[in-house]
Amino acid sequence: MLRTPGAAPDLAGLRVDAASGRLLGASQVESPNCDDRPAGLAPELLVVHGISLPPGEFGGPWIDALFTNSLPPDAHPYFAALADLRVSAHLLVRRDGSVVQYVPFHRRAWHAGASQWRGRERCNDFSIGIELEGTDATAYAPAQYRVLARVVAELCRAYPALSADALVGHSDVAPGRKSDPGIAFDWPLLRSFVSYGLEVRPA
């Protein structure tokens, strides 16, 4: 079911249930664009993306529609080129900090495409993909940094193979092909929030 932005979640309510692969406190919209990870592989990498549909516009149901293969190609001129695209992410953090989950963390979301990290190809196999509603050159919202940092800290607690050091952008795993989350993304701010979140967990 398509949705529009809702109220930002309370940070303390965002918890990872490792048994189900769900983020408690997030809205759930199931994407068919996922499959099983290769046997024996667990999440080891966190990939941050940026997305807006149509480009440069925020809000509305279009990201949900893209990730559920229900984007109407005639709703906007840009959408026709996406008609056959089959992509997803584990999470989306909207401008207001509200979170949508499309794929359980233990499953492979189709977010990174052709990619490589430290000599390993096929990053989807061993990564979690988190989309931020935004563009490369538009400042991301403060609520997005706070929520993203909380989610990253919770994921690191839930999955021992993950660490805050394995936190990268789409541009890092697909250089030359992808540029997101872009020049407007404040990596030092995010990393400081994550470090604090790993030390102090909200009650």
Tens-place pLDDT, residues 32-89: 999 999 999 999 999 999 999 999 999 999 999 999 999 999 999 999 999 899 999 9
Domains of the chain in start order, with CATH, are 11-199 (3.40.80.10)
Assess whether pLDDT exceeds 50 at residue 3.
Answer: no
Report the catalytic residues.
131
* Selection from 41, 133, 131 nearest residue 89 by Cα: 131
- The percent of the chain in helix, strand and coil, each rounded to the nearest 5, is 25, 20, 55
What residue type is assigned to position 164 of the chain?
A: A
Residue with token string 């966190």: 46
